[in-house]
Amino acid sequence: MKVVFKQPTAKVTEVFLSVQGEGVYAGDRQIFVRFHGCNMRCAFCDTPQPDAPGESSIRSVVDRIIDADADGQVKVITITGGEPLLHSHFLKCLLPPLRDKGYKIHLDTNGTMPDKLNDVIDSVDVVAMDIKLPSSTKDRHFWEEHLAFLKVARAKGVFVKMVITNDTREEDIDKAVGLIEGVDSAIALILQPASEFGEFKGKPDNARVMEWQKRAQAKLKDVRVMPQLHRIKGIR
């Protein structure tokens, strides 16, 4: 009897070509694969979740990527969400053939699922990891998860992003900086002042942002203040 193995599927919201708006690769031309769903509900989230799309196959996502890269000039694919590691079973099958085609894979993640990162880390080139500050997200802390995640991500290129708001507390900044320093003080930290949009009005004071950068620079080698480019310029 012939055994038929079911191919994995996932809810992919969109595949599109744009300019990276965050982190150390801001300004780079990339293809984005956005997955549906997230395990968090951050007060400042700039990616509201639409109605769930239908299931996509590996083949259909690869075809959409090829269509987005019509001129063949794109070198990087960013896997984003939502939280893409909710679909790690799908990523394990999707990422290797993309790398075989010569693409570099950047994973944009909230940094709370170290076990799922471990499942796909061999097929990832760069990890753009959030540290979620509880005073900013209005959620519980994820210090243990973030530490375990960063230890796995360190095997590849990794940088850390932290969204800061007018509610961010100094002790949260210090805790996050100490966490990064304990793994590797050379890991870049991006402080992202929250952008105001919709009902969210939590933009932090510029003087506080500069003071937080100064405090972080006392322990880390690369600390940058970088607002979200796509919010400022209205880029998708």
Burial of 154 (0-12, 13-18, 19+ CB in 10 A): middle
CA separation for the pair 119, 45 (Å, rounded): 26
Query: How does pLDDT run across 20-57, given as a tens digit for each residue?
Result: 999 999 999 999 999 999 988 877 776 666 667 889 99
DSSP H/E element including 29: strand 29-35
Report the CATH number of the 9-228 domain.
3.20.20.70
Over the chain (236 residues), the average pLDDT of each successive run of 10 is 68 95 93 94 70 88 96 96 96 97 97 98 98 88 97 97 93 97 98 73 87 97 88 59
Write down the pLDDT at residue 202: 76
Specify the pairing of strand 188-193 against strand 157-164.
Answer: parallel
Query: How does pLDDT run across 48-72, given as a tens digit for each residue?
Result: 666 678 899 999 999 999 999 999 9
First-to-last C-alpha distance (Å) of the chain: 49
pTM of the full predicted structure? 0.92
- Amino acid letter, residue 57: S
